[in-house]
A and B are shown apart, each in its own frame.
Chain A
C-alpha cells in the first residue's frame, strides 16, 4: 500500500490515512470534545431523579426545559435550596455580562481603530517606541496588575462598579485590538484614501467614509474576539465586584457551584445559558473569531 493508491470517494487525490482510520479518528475527536458538553446539556433537561441515581439516566425520557424558563422568568416556588433572590441575582448577572461585554467591545473598537489607524498610516513621534510598549503590555500577566489596580480602585472609591470592570477589561484588550486593526489597515491600499483627500474630503471623512466601511471584516473579527473574551472574563469581575447586582454571569456560575446546590439540573441550565453567547459566536461567526484568535495568539 503506498499513499498514491488510497483514493476515497474522490475527495482527495492522495491521502495519508485510510478512510477507516480517518473515520475512527474523527469520531474520537468528536467524542473527546462533545461528551462533556453534551452531559452539561442533558443534565440541564433531566429531572433530579434521573441525575440522583447511580448510574444516572443518560437519556431522559422527557426533555424538561422548565429550568431555563425558571431561570429566565420564573420564581423559586416551593424549592428549599433555591430562593427568588438567587434567581433574581442570576438574571442580574446575565444582564451585567451583556453590558460588560457590549461596552468593552464598543470602547475597545472605537479607541482601538483610532489608534490602529494612526499607527498604520501616520509617522508619529515615538511611534515605534509606543508600539513596542503596546507589545510588552500584551505580554504582562494580568495577575501582576491586579494588586495595584485593586489599591487604585479602592482609593478612587470605584470598587463594585460595572464601569470599573468595563474600564479594566478595555485596557486589557486594547493593545490586542490596536495591534490587530493596525495590521488590517496596513493591508488596505493607501491610494484609496489619497484619492478621497484629493477630492476634498478631510481626514475625519476619509476615515469614516472610506477606510472604516472597507474595514468591516477586520472590525468584526476584533469585535467577536473581544466580546467573547470579555464575556468569559472571570478574575477581574470576581475581584472587583462583590454584590449580587454587579456580579458577572461567569462569577455567578462559580458561586452556584460553591454553594453546593443539589438542584444540578438548574445549575447546568445556568451554565448552558452562560455559554450561549460565546458558543453562538463560535458557531455562526467562526471565521471572524478565528481571525482574532490567530492574530491574538501569534502576535501575543
Chain B
C-alpha cells in the first residue's frame, strides 16, 4: 500500500480504480444488494401471486407471525436442528480424527488426501442419486450388504420409513461435509509449529496431553468455522432432500431450506417465504454469534 500514499497521480489513479471496480459494483449492487433490500420489503407484503386481481397489500409483521406459529415450520425446524446436531456431534469428531490421521506421514498420503476431497466436489444432485441407489428399499446396496451379512432376511424400507429417513439424510449429508471439515482441521494442524509439540513432550506431557492442552485449544477457531458451516448447511439444506425424499415420507424429512423452496416456488407465497428466509438468516447469524462467544471464551487470555 506504500505507493498509494504518493499524491502525484492520485486522481487519475483513483479514476482508473473506479473504472476497474465498476463492473463488479454494478453486478453486486444489482443482483445482490438491491434484491436483499427488495426481499426485506416483500416480507412485509402479501403479493397475492395466485390471485393477482387483489393486488399487493401491506401486512406489517403478519408474515413473520405466520412463520413463527406455523406447525409445519416447527417440525421443519426440529428436523433441521437434528441435522445440525448430527452434523456437529458426529462431523466434528470424525473430521478431527481424519485430520489427525492425515497429518501423520505415511506412503501415498497425497493420494489419500486427493481421494478425501472427492465427496466435496461431487454435485449435490449426484450425491442424491448415489444415496438413492444405496438406500433403495428394494434393490439398494445397504439392503444387499445387510442380507449378505445375515442381519436381515428380507429387504427393509429406508427412505420410505419416516423413523429412518431423516437419519439417512443426515448420514448422506455428513459424508459430503466431512472432507471440507477435515481439510480445514488439517490446515490448522499443519500451522501448529513442530517446536510446540517438541517442547510439550520435553515438559513431560504425553500425546493426549499435547492434544488436550495444545492442539484442541489452538484449533478452536477452526472448530468455530466448522460449527458455523454445519449450521448454515443444515438450515439451507436443499439438494439432498429434493432428490431423495422431497420432504417425505409424511413430512419426516421436511427441513427449513426445502420448506422455504416449497413456500416460494410451489405455493408461490412470496411474502411468507421472504419472511421465512429472513428468519433463517437471522437464526443462523445469532447461532454463529452464540458459537463464537462459546468457543472463543477461553481465547481472550492468549
Contact = CB atoms under 8 A, between A and B. Distances in A.
Contact of A148 (B39, B122, B130, B260): B39
B102 to A, nearest CB: 8
A83 interface: no
Contacts of A151: 38, 42, 270
A141 B144 contact: no
Given A124-B21, A141-B236, A145-B36, A282 B148 contact: no
Nearest to A53: B139
Interface stretch (B25-33, B80-88, B160-168): B25-33
Interface in B270-286: 270, 273-274, 277-278, 280-281, 284-285
Contacts of B32: 137, 140, 145, 171-172, 175
Contact of B16 (A4, A134, A203): A203
Interface residues of A, number: 105
A141 B101 contact: no
Interface stretch (A32-40, A61-69, A72-80, A213-221): A32-40
Given A15-B104, A55-B147, A137-B32, A144 B3 contact: no
Contact of A254 (B25, B113, B128): B128
Interface string B110-126: 00111111111111111
A178 B25 CA distance: 11
Interface of A: 2-4, 11-12, 14-17, 22, 25-26, 29-30, 32-34, 36-37, 39-40, 43, 51-56, 58, 110-112, 114-115, 117-119, 121-125, 130, 133-134, 137, 139-152, 167-168, 170-172, 174-175, 178, 190, 193-194, 203, 228, 231-232, 234-235, 238-239, 249-251, 253-254, 256-258, 264, 267-268, 271, 274-275, 278-279, 281-283, 286, 289-290, 293-294, 297-298
The 6 closest A-B pairs by CB, nearest first: A122-B17, A171-B31, A55-B144, A148-B38, A148-B35, A118-B20
B240 to A, nearest CB: 10
B129 A267 contact: yes
Contacts of B242: 234, 238, 254
Contacts of A2: 206
Contacts of B97: 25
B232 interface: yes
A141 B124 contact: no
Contacts of B131: 36
Given A4-B201, A144-B278, A256-B129, 12 more contacts: A29-B112, A56-B144, A111-B24, A143-B280, A148-B35, A150-B265, A232-B122, A257-B129, A258-B243, A275-B121, A282-B118, A293-B183
Interface residues of B, number: 100
A48 to B, nearest CB: 10
A147 B39 contact: yes
Most buried by B among A14, A34, A172, A278: A278
A12 B242 CA distance: 47
A25 B101 contact: yes
13 contacts: A12-B104, A29-B98, A36-B175, A56-B139, A56-B144, A119-B21, A122-B20, A123-B10, A144-B274, A144-B278, A175-B28, A275-B122, A282-B121
B121 A147 contact: no
Interface string B2-13: 111000001001
A147 to B, nearest CB: 5
B206 A3 contact: yes
B28 A137 contact: yes
